[in-house]
Amino acid sequence: MATIKDVAKLANVSTATVSRVLNNNGYVNKDTKERVTRAIRQLDYRPNDIARSLFKGKSKMIALFVPDIMNPFFPELARAVEDITNKHNYTFVLCNTDDDLEKEITYLNALQQKSVDGFIIVSSNLKEDYLHNMNAPVVALDRIVSKQLSSVTVNNRESAREATNYLKAIGCKRIAHICGPDYAMNTLERLGGYLDIVKKEKWFLSSYVVSGEYNYEKTIAVTKELLTNHPEIDGIFAANDKMGVGVIKAAEALGVKIPEELAVVGFDGIAMGETTTPSLTTMEQPIYDIGAQAAKLLLEHIHDSNRSIEQVNLKTKLIERDSTRKRR
Amino acid sequence: MATIKDVAKLANVSTATVSRVLNNNGYVNKDTKERVTRAIRQLDYRPNDIARSLFKGKSKMIALFVPDIMNPFFPELARAVEDITNKHNYTFVLCNTDDDLEKEITYLNALQQKSVDGFIIVSSNLKEDYLHNMNAPVVALDRIVSKQLSSVTVNNRESAREATNYLKAIGCKRIAHICGPDYAMNTLERLGGYLDIVKKEKWFLSSYVVSGEYNYEKTIAVTKELLTNHPEIDGIFAANDKMGVGVIKAAEALGVKIPEELAVVGFDGIAMGETTTPSLTTMEQPIYDIGAQAAKLLLEHIHDSNRSIEQVNLKTKLIERDSTRKRR
DNA sequence: CTGAAAGCGCTAACAC
DNA sequence: GTGTTAGCGCTTTCAG
């Protein structure tokens, strides 16, 4: 690999001059510039980014923390972040944290040692304290709430209300909710939205809320139990699509007809919901957009340390599919 | 951020000594070591990896190229690579290439400038020529064939034969094949395996092979057409699960009963195949294992430039589900 | 307009 | 055992 010195020697100039033409700054005579450019081409010279990083104290890398890329919500998010990141000549680092605080901290430290310029984080554990005294900006996604941090989220509570109201509107009389794990902010908000609507109904029972823990198998099990104990339930709002699909599978196993006997609404809008039979009605999140906006926001923070904190709130959209539609 | 100099000053030693205790090499007196350790702790000092990288010419980063992380085959692969990578204190860079040669080359160059230590590549475009004069090792996955490169693949041809034979065994008399795009090596091999079995059958027609181009919508369209033109078809082998699910959806739309009137086998073993109704029988690839082995192999090449080229070939496994099972 | 030189933070000879 | 020093490859004052 040729270095800047080789180029300088070949072009008969100093390394400073080469650097100037490389970065297109400072005055440099047209002819010498030409000579340098030729030398660069001739040697197929590419500047060493590590050396640049050392000098600048920046690496042109940004990292995304997700619990697990195998969870179908995250690939689209990752794709969005990578697209924006790449367009701005940043390198994209992906970290699976398993929602484990220790792993998250280890990553945070390791990546700061590598001078990573910024972080986009989906986490249930990382609180302000950990994130506060970092030298790189952070954008929080989906689960973290802190006035100190820029973030991109959807209005989980309102969306959950909308989903629940929709089930009422299509004629459901007893609506249950499958919630996620209680450590996740987003699932608590969705539960809250559901409760906003149903808690004053005379029919409402606290046993209408069960936890599927964002887990497919677990959801099938708890839904079977729920429907067996409460055959009167004719509508279920699941806090995400993975669990919504679980509900469909549980109903299928029990011989409960969807949507005639049971209407189901999920949350997220992942592709899997389109391929089930019946397909799953869902509150679709603008996943790509969430990622893209987060990445843009982060880049702004990186380029301008005075960029003000901003909490972006995006809208969900009800996608009607067969798990409710025929009921209308 | 404290530097090695700060530590040296505080501990009253030279930076060399600090470096020695940091890297645990060279002799250093127990007491001074203690002093240095204390200073490190006191300043909360972390070595700057960029500086280390500059010196060593290595970055402790490895990159994975995939066409698109949103394609459900790749998250599990990425997860495996990241797990291994992380365990060995490497940083994991993810690149979506869209199977576009230009993007691939841009990435290759950009990452080499960052001294990325190695690459794992899923590509249909990158041939030996591009990969040959690189200064970092490459492991090819899934699609590239070259005697010059270590690789991890499954035996596509044999697996396709097995899938086709299985359809015959459960009683299918006319078996069609939905293949992928013709630029992808793996899909051509699967087509080859299918043909190995059926081409000498008297009933075989070349119109029994149609391309779904690894695309869900497209597959639904071509399958409808295929089944309409050839109602005698009672078995379909799809070159991947995404297309297999498309076949199920097309049959559903046409009122063709699966598996009674049509048996379907996919390829890959992605989660989506479990949630359809009926669930999709498939030739499951050991996706995680493919990624893990590739990562290990790459690490070996990184640590030992004389590591011999190795072509690892993994086995697929038939997973029987409802799209064929009830037929037995 | 161009070059000399210092320095980003760290490691590894090489001395003592 | 420990310190001195010369880089790794680049950018940027500061002179001229």
For residue B307, the model assigns a pLDDT of: 96
Q: Pick from B59, B92, B110: which is nearest to A50 by CB?
A: B59
Measure the CA–CA gap between A205 and A116, rounded to whole angstroms: 49
Residue B88 has φ and ψ, to the nearest 5°, of -100, 20
Instruction: Tell me the pLDDT band of B328, cut-offs 50, 70 and 90.
Output: low
What pLDDT score was predicted for residue A147?
86
What kind and span of H or E run contains B118? strand B118-121
A211: left (phi over 0), alpha (psi -120 to 50) or beta: beta
Res. A328: pLDDT tops 80: no
In this prediction, residues A37-41 reach a mean pLDDT of 97
Q: What is the mean pLDDT of chain B?
A: 95
CA angle A298–A302–A305, rounded 5-degree value: 115
Q: Which residues touch strand D (CB under 7 A)?
A: A 1, 3-5, 15-16, 18-20, 22-23, 25-26, 45, 47-48, 51-52, 54-56; B 12-17, 20, 26-29, 31-33, 51, 54-55, 57
A13 CB closer than 7 A to any strand C atom: yes
Cβ neighbourhood burial of B76 (10 Å; 0-12, 13-18, 19+): buried
Q: Which bases in strand D are touched by protein, i.e. have an atom under 7 Å from a CB? A: 1-5, 7-13
CA–CA gap between residue B226 and residue A234 (Å, rounded): 39
- Whether B155 and chain A come into contact, CB under 8 Å, resolves to no
Ordered by start, the domain boundaries in chain B are 4-47, 61-153+287-315, 156-285+318-327
User: Does A83 reach chain B within 8 Å, measured CB to CB?
Assistant: yes
Asked if pLDDT for residue A145 goes beyond 80, the answer is no
B112 contacts on A by Cβ (under 8 Å):
46
Closest Cα to residue A206, out of A183, A229, A176?
Answer: A176
For residue A118, the cross-strand partners are: A62
pLDDT at A327 over 80: no
Single-letter residue type at A56: K
Pick out residues 39-78 of chain B having their CB under 7 A from any atom of nucleic acid strand C. 45, 47-48, 51-52, 54-56
- The pLDDT confidence band at residue A128, using thresholds 50, 70 and 90, is confident
Q: Residue A316 gets which letter from DSSP?
A: P
Q: Which residue has the tokens 């430039």?
A: B305
- Region of poorest pLDDT, from A88-97, A120-129, A232-241, B104-113: A120-129
Spatial CA neighbour of A266 closest among A180, A204, A197, A183: A180
Please, which pLDDT band fits residue B326 given cuts at 50, 70 and 90? low
Class of domain A61-153+287-315: alpha beta
Note the CATH architecture for domain B156-285+318-327.
3-Layer(aba) Sandwich (3.40)
Q: What is the pTM of this model?
A: 0.95
What's the rounded mean pLDDT across residues A270-287? 95
Query: Between chains, do A69 and B91 touch, taking CB under 8 Å as contact?
Result: no
Identify the weakest region by mean pLDDT among A287-291, B4-8, B129-133: B129-133
**Distance of alpha carbon B250 from alpha carbon B221, whole angstroms:** 7
| For range A220-230, the mean pLDDT | 97
Q: Is-same-fold flag (A61-153+287-315; A156-285+318-327)?
A: yes
**pLDDT of amino acid B262:** 97
> What's the confidence (pLDDT) of residue B308?
96
pLDDT, tens only, A166-212: 999 999 999 999 999 998 899 999 999 999 999 999 999 999 999 99
- Nearest-by-CA chain A residue for B243: A275
pLDDT tens per residue, range B145-155: 788 899 999 99
Q: Calculate the angstrom distance between C1' of D16 and CA of A90.
A: 38
pLDDT per residue as tens digits for the range A44-83: 999 999 999 999 999 999 999 999 999 999 999 999 999 9
pLDDT interval class at A302 (50, 70, 90): very high
Distance from CA of A169 to the nearest CA of B (A): 28
Q: What is the pLDDT of residue A142?
A: 82
Q: Kindly determine whether the C-beta of residue B168 is less than 7 Å away from any atom of nucleic acid strand C.
A: no
| pLDDT > 90? residue A213 | yes
Summarize pLDDT for B213-247 with one digit per residue, the tens. Answer: 999 999 999 999 999 999 999 999 999 999 999 99
| CATH superfamily membership of A4-47 | lambda repressor-like DNA-binding domains (1.10.260.40)
Q: Residue B130 and residue B120: Cα distance in Å, rounded?
A: 14
Beta bridge partner(s), residue B266: B282
Are the beta carbons of B91 and A72 separated by less than 8 Å?
A: no
Per-residue pLDDT at B225 = 97
Measure in Å the smallest separation between the Cα of A197 and chain B Cα atoms.
30
Name the minimum distance, in Å, from the CA of A102 to any CA of chain B.
14
Q: Are the C-beta atoms of B227 and B215 separated by less than 8 Å?
A: no
Q: And the tokens for B245?
A: 């699910």
Integer Rg of chain A from CA: 26
Across A131-160, average pLDDT: 90
**Distance of C1' in C12 from CA in B21, Å:** 14
State the Cα–Cα distance between residues B225 and B208, nearest whole angstrom.
11
Confidence at A127, pLDDT banded by 50, 70, 90 = confident
Task: Name the pairing type of β-strands A138-141 and A150-154.
Answer: parallel
